[in-house]
Amino acid sequence: MKLKQRVVLLAILLVIFIFTKVFLIDNLDTSAANREDQRAFHRMMAGLRVELTPKLDHTLQSPWEIAAQWVVPREVYPEETPELGAIMHAMATKKIIKADVGYKGTQLKALLILEGGQKVVFKPKRYSRDHVVEGEPYAGYDRHNAEVAAFHLDRILGFRRAPLVVGRFVNLRTEIKPVATEQLLSTFLTAGNNTCFYGKCYYCRETEPACADGDMMEGSVTLWLPDVWPLQKHRHPWGRTYREGKLARWEYDESYCDAVKKTSPYDSGPRLLDIIDTAVFDYLIGNADRHHYESFQDDEGASMLILLDNAKSFGNPSLDERSILAPLYQCCIIRVSTWNRLNYLKNGVLKSALHSAMAHDPISPVLSEPHLDAMDQRLLSVLATVKQCTDQFGMDTVLVEDRMPLSHL
């Protein structure tokens, strides 16, 4: 064989060797990542059922101190949470030492301070479990049980970006009124034999109070994030106009995602992928009302998108508002870890997992069966949407690796 032919042959063999090696390494990395995703899923399922108990082992810290130490830039709580039951028990039972009107917003809520100085947000029951909210996908009052269910879905999806939420019954006459501020107390009234209040907010009206069953009111309490982590509010790039006949740009411009990718903080870092995760999360729970979102301040796009205010969810189990998925089907990207987790949850696993996660909540059953069934069906729609993207652009383009080692030291 001539020298030139030998050199060409060696060059071809070298190229084949390099490509083979790279391919094998990529496959090994992907396989290892998938195995870790599967192990994480099994760990989540094993620790899913949370029994509310006051017992805190091997620590002298209060539940509030433990929860505050959990918060880091990319998580509200860690993967392993043996103290979660004790923290949620404290949220559901600790004495209320002060009650005030809720922070600014459009919906009725109360700001409570529990024994030990911990702030929580109380959202009252407005609807029965089987009530169907008709009209626009963002219509109706806040649903307190939606906050509870959304928190547990956040656990199941492995996002860990939602503040802790638990159901609670409060006696308005003996627990709230004696410690209420004048501003809150002035909104109390009686309807028949029921104690009611209407609070202070944009849509709060004396003619539309939330009423207890006698004096006992069912609601949800959301743990206030530590003050050392101040929040920054952002307009959601896929927010609605809420004006009849006026569409947002994303509703008519199919190339809208390309424009978003050129603007900060979506042009680099994890924020755009957080938006995609949030679209999946909101579609599953039927939340079409995320017009703004919060992150931690001065984060330069590195902080997580915090899943706050999920109460406009679970309104109508028969309504699948596909436009909630616009960030997913317009950008056609999704985290590999999210894609894997969604696949592990199909075939009824999601419904079963939520049943298990919420079984010990004080207001259980948290959701009606139609809402749980609807989530299983919506999950299939999410998977089908990703499949359409991979068919069009290929898996290497659509499935994005985004793993950040996290520390809770």
* pLDDT single digits (tens) 36-73: 889 999 999 999 999 999 988 777 899 999 999 999 99
Q: Is the pLDDT of residue 26 over 50?
A: no
* Cβ atoms < 10 Å from Cβ of 308: 21
Which residue positions form the known binding site for Mn(2+)? 142, 309
Confidence of residue 360 (pLDDT cuts 50, 70, 90): very high
Confidence of residue 103 (pLDDT cuts 50, 70, 90): confident
In the chain, the percentage of residues whose pLDDT exceeds 70 is 91
Question: Alpha-carbon distance 355 to 276, whole Å?
Answer: 25
Question: Alpha-carbon distance 339 to 320, whole Å?
Answer: 20
Amino acid at 390: T
CB-count burial class (<10 Å; 0-12, 13-18, 19+) for 132: middle
Which residue positions form the known binding site? 107, 123, 142, 222-225, 294, 309
Cα dihedral 10, 13, 19, 22, rounded to 10, equals -80
Better-predicted residue by pLDDT, 401 or 382: 382
* Cβ atoms < 10 Å from Cβ of 60: 6
- Decide if 289 is catalytic: yes
Tell me the pLDDT tens digit for each residue of 145-199.
Answer: 999 999 999 999 999 999 999 999 999 999 999 999 999 999 999 999 999 999 9
Where are the domains positioned within the chain?
A: 63-223, 231-400
Q: What angle do CA 18, 23, 29 make, to 5 degrees?
A: 125
pTM above 0.85, yes or no: yes
Q: Tokens 């109380």 — which residue?
A: 122
**Backbone dihedral region of 7: left (phi > 0), alpha (psi from -120 to 50 degrees) or beta?**
alpha
Which of 100, 289, 361, 376 is an active site residue?
289
Helix (H) / strand (E) element for 153: namely: helix 144-157
What's the Cα-to-Cα distance from 251 to each of 139, 246, 254, rounded to whole Å?
Answer: 19, 10, 8
